[in-house]
Amino acid sequence: MLSIKPNCECCNRDLPPDSRDAWICSFECTFCTDCVRGSLNELCPNCRGEFVRRPIRPQAALQQHPASRDRIFKPQGCAS
């Protein structure tokens, strides 16, 4: 099951569970659209894998399986 992390690892932008601006790689590293299409050039800086848009978990399912509250942020930035 996806963790649904709450923020972009590069810019620390909030990415709530219903955000259509959240992108993940196969390891579930999480980034916003601006970082993915901008500085990351659509490659994960951690694993070099591709990104896909993170699916949205329905609100009813979030009640039983809540999104993660663990924030991962790299204040030094994320250059690909």
Model confidence, pTM: 0.91
- Identify whether the C-beta of residue 54 lies closer than 8 Å to the C-beta of residue 2: yes
Q: Per-residue pLDDT tens for 38-78?
A: 999 999 999 999 999 999 999 999 999 999 999 999 878 77
- Identify whether the C-beta of residue 37 lies closer than 8 Å to the C-beta of residue 54: no
Q: Per-residue pLDDT tens for 2-39?
A: 999 999 999 999 999 999 999 999 999 999 999 999 99
CATH number of 1-63: 3.30.40
Please give the Cα distance from 80 to 69 (Å, whole number). 25
